[in-house]
Amino acid sequence: MDELPVFEFASQGQLREKLVAAIVAGEKTATSSLAVAYASAGEPLPQVGQRGTVIDSAGTRRAVIETTAVEVSPLSEVPLAHAVAEGEGYADVAAWRAAHTKFWSSRTPHGELGPNFRLDDSTLIVLERFTVVLEAR
């Protein structure tokens, strides 16, 4: 587990704890991110078969996950199945989109993407599916 890259979900705090608990429980099997964030950081998109260690807010290793699928989709075309697989209780894509728009908009204007970043229907979203392959004890 120590040699794997670390995967952090959300920022430290209550949301991360909720997401990590859902991953460990098998309720969260997908995540979404902005494609432009990878480009801005000079990082490649996730790859099928890639493994990483999920940590909680305290930095404790909680699980190892493996990426099982990666798609890039415009924000306007994110499917309901992906929204549901995120395990956060989204009943429809509109609820998923509202929550993610709020999260991404609150983080990016003054963050790594700069003040000119605008989220709209054509914004490319990385849709990643994963499975837990090892739970930390």
Domain boundaries along the sequence of the chain: 6-135
Token pair, residue 112, equals: 């790594």
Q: Domain 6-135: give its CATH code.
A: 3.10.400.10
Q: Count CB-CB contacts under 10 A for residue 126.
A: 18
Query: How does pLDDT run along the chain (137 residues), one tens digit per residue?
Result: 578 999 988 878 898 899 999 999 999 999 999 999 888 888 999 999 999 999 999 999 999 999 999 999 999 999 999 999 999 899 899 999 999 988 887 754 446 677 778 889 999 999 999 999 987 76
Alpha helix stretches (DSSP H) within the chain:
14-24, 35-41, 80-85, 93-107
Q: b/e for 86-101, b at 16 or more Cβ within 10 A?
A: bbbebeebeebbeebe
The predicted structure's pLDDT at residue 13: 87
CA distance 28 to 83: 10
Residue at token pair 């000119």? 116
SS3 98: helix
Question: Which residues, in sequence order, are CB contacts of 61 under 8 Å at separation 6+?
Answer: 1, 2, 53, 54, 55, 136
